[in-house]
Amino acid sequence: MEYAGSPFEIKQLSDSGAIEGLLAGFGNVDHGGDKLLPGCLTKTLASRSAPLPMLLHHDMQRPIGAWKEWQERSEGLYVKGALTLATRDAQEAHALAKDGALTGLSIGWKPTKTTHDAKGVRLVSEAELFEGSLVAIPMNDATRVTAVKAITGPRDIAELLQESGLSSRRAKAAAGAAWKAINEHQDETQADAELAAILTKATARLANIGRN
Three-state SS at 168: helix
How far is the C-alpha of 90 from the C-alpha of 150, rounded, in Å? 28
What does the pLDDT look like over 150-183, one tens digit per residue? Answer: 456 777 677 767 655 667 888 788 888 777 766 6
At residue 3, does pLDDT exceed 70?
Answer: no
Mean pLDDT (the chain, rounded) = 75
φ/ψ of 178, rounded to 5, equals: -65, -45
Q: Taking residues 107-134, report their average pLDDT.
A: 92
Choose between 39 and 186: higher pLDDT.
39
How far is the C-alpha of 144 from the C-alpha of 87, rounded, in Å? 29
Burial of residue 176, with CB atoms counted within 10 A of its CB: 0-12 exposed, 13-18 middle, 19 or more buried = middle
How far is the C-alpha of 25 from the C-alpha of 73, rounded, in Å? 9
* 63, β-bridge pairs: 55
Give the relative orientation of helices 168-183 and 188-211 as an angle to the nearest 10 degrees: 160
What does the pLDDT look like over 187-201, one tens digit per residue? Answer: 554 555 555 555 555
